[in-house]
Amino acid sequence: MLFTVLAFLVALGVLVTFHELGHYWVARRCGVRVERFSIGFGKVLYRRFDKNGTEWAVSALPLGGYVAMQNDPPAHATQAQIDESFNHKPLRQRAAIVLAGPMANLILAVVIYAFVGLLGAQEPVAQIGPVPEGTPAAQAGFQAGDRLVSVDGKPVDSWLQARWAFMDALSSGGELEVGVKDLLGREENRYLTLPAGEILPDGQDLMAKAGLMLRPARSVVQEVFKDTAAEQAGLKKDDLILRLDDLIEPGITAFVQKVQQSAGKTLELEVLREGEIQRLLLTPQGDAKAQGRIGAQVAMDMPMTLVRYGPIESVERGFTRTGQTFWFSLKMIGRMITGDVSVRNVSGPVTIADYAGQTARIGFIAYLNFLALISISIGLLNLLPVPMLDGGHLLYYAIEAVRGKPASERMMLVGQRLGLALLAVLMSIAFFNDITRLFS
């Protein structure tokens, strides 16, 4: 629990601070006086002032941060004080300052994705398992063992990349061209027709529903102990288990359970050894009242590939991944508004904190990818034309550009009330979804 909270607070602190740094940096470039830059809220624990008079503070509640600018000049202000006030800046500068926060989040996502590309990560090979009959994949001719090499003309190197490439088509439907390499090494294109699927946080995996599932990890012998059933059967290190009686390519759990349930029984065993299939007879030791054992250590065999790119390609992929994620998220919001996608996909702080903890436990790369995704979400959310958000201010500035003068106080008051109501509804939905997931 504590680890999850810490992972969430670190994520929130980094993302919100970077957002506010965007506002701060452009404000300073435009000559606006920044009175305070605070990391956190509440009681100030540490502060210092820079040469421009900005107070840099660390506050008690680590739930984000804020930038306080001089919006209007003080009474009896000099011309210099008037010139460094936000509300006295030209429209284009005010819009740039507001836009800088969301853009900073999108830039951060690009940097993170580029950094992950440079670091590289071991990911499962995009090889599919058994294809259920009647599924779109079966109708398109996919077979167990096919390796996905491209989706819609774009190469994929791993299962995670393949899932990402499929995401839009799985939700909206349509025909998708998929390049595959079969077990014999032959490459061909197959055309997968997908129905529109409803994305639900606790619903069926749409890729699995289409008939495409990652090939399960198989069992491989790591060590054979002396004077055991495994040695007597002829098992050797690095043997890949192809079949154990009625189990085809069993995973570790299925293999162990079968052995434990078969004390004293002779089982047919097929293994792949140095490219050739060997057929053995294996009799687990033990009697009917005890669990069977064979005296061998078995591990998981999951084909992995190192996904890593050079500096230029990493940056290109950073921009591409950020743009694709932003556009897909925007379409999802639009489909929620039209009712094509359930609002159950809206997540609140509890769910986000849970994901922060889960990804941090998986590893550094997974946590970085999580940070990039949430950074894009923060950037997109703040760009929505909702009063109270950055996008709402940009909407007012667009009205000002058209009218030639700022929006009226009445218009802004109505907008603020409407924006507050929309945010309250959104937060209520998010908290309701969090509580539902927590107790379901």
Per-position pLDDT tens, the chain of length 440: 788 888 888 888 889 889 999 999 999 999 999 999 998 888 889 999 988 889 999 988 877 788 999 988 888 778 888 888 998 899 999 999 999 999 999 999 999 999 999 998 888 899 988 889 989 999 999 988 889 999 988 899 899 888 888 887 877 778 889 999 987 788 999 998 888 766 665 566 788 888 898 888 888 888 999 989 888 989 999 888 888 888 888 888 888 888 888 888 888 999 888 878 889 998 888 876 778 888 888 888 788 888 899 999 999 999 999 998 999 888 888 877 877 767 777 777 777 888 888 888 888 888 999 999 999 999 999 998 888 889 988 998 998 888 888 877 888 788 888 878 888 888 887 777 777 776 76
Tell me whether residue 167 is in a domain: yes
Residues 161 and 177 in one domain: yes
Find the CATH number of the domain harbouring 284.
2.30.42.10
At 440 the pLDDT is 64
Question: Domain ends where: 282, 302, 322?
Answer: 302
Domain span at residue 267 reads 218-302
Residues 189 and 231 in one domain: no
Contacts of 16 (CB under 8 A, 6+ apart): 64, 65, 378
Question: Domain ends where: 253, 269, 302?
Answer: 302
- How many beta carbons lie within 10 A of that of residue 195, not counting itself? 12
At 32 the pLDDT is 92
Residues 272 and 201 in one domain: no
Residues 226 and 148 in one domain: no
Distance CA 272, CA 258 (A): 19
Tell me whether residue 193 is in a domain: yes
At 113 the pLDDT is 95
Tell me, yes or no, if 274 is annotated catalytic: no
Question: Domain ends where: 215, 231, 260?
Answer: 215
Residues 171 and 197 in one domain: yes
Residues 184 and 253 in one domain: no
Residues 168 and 211 in one domain: yes
Residues 207 and 125 in one domain: yes
Residues 163 and 134 in one domain: yes
Residues 240 and 210 in one domain: no
How many domains in the chain? Answer: 2
Residues 139 and 195 in one domain: yes
Tell me whether residue 251 is in a domain: yes
- Contact (Cβ atoms closer than 8 angstroms) between residue 215 and residue 183: no
Residues 155 and 184 in one domain: yes
pTM: 0.80
| Residue 315 host element (H or E) | helix 311-338
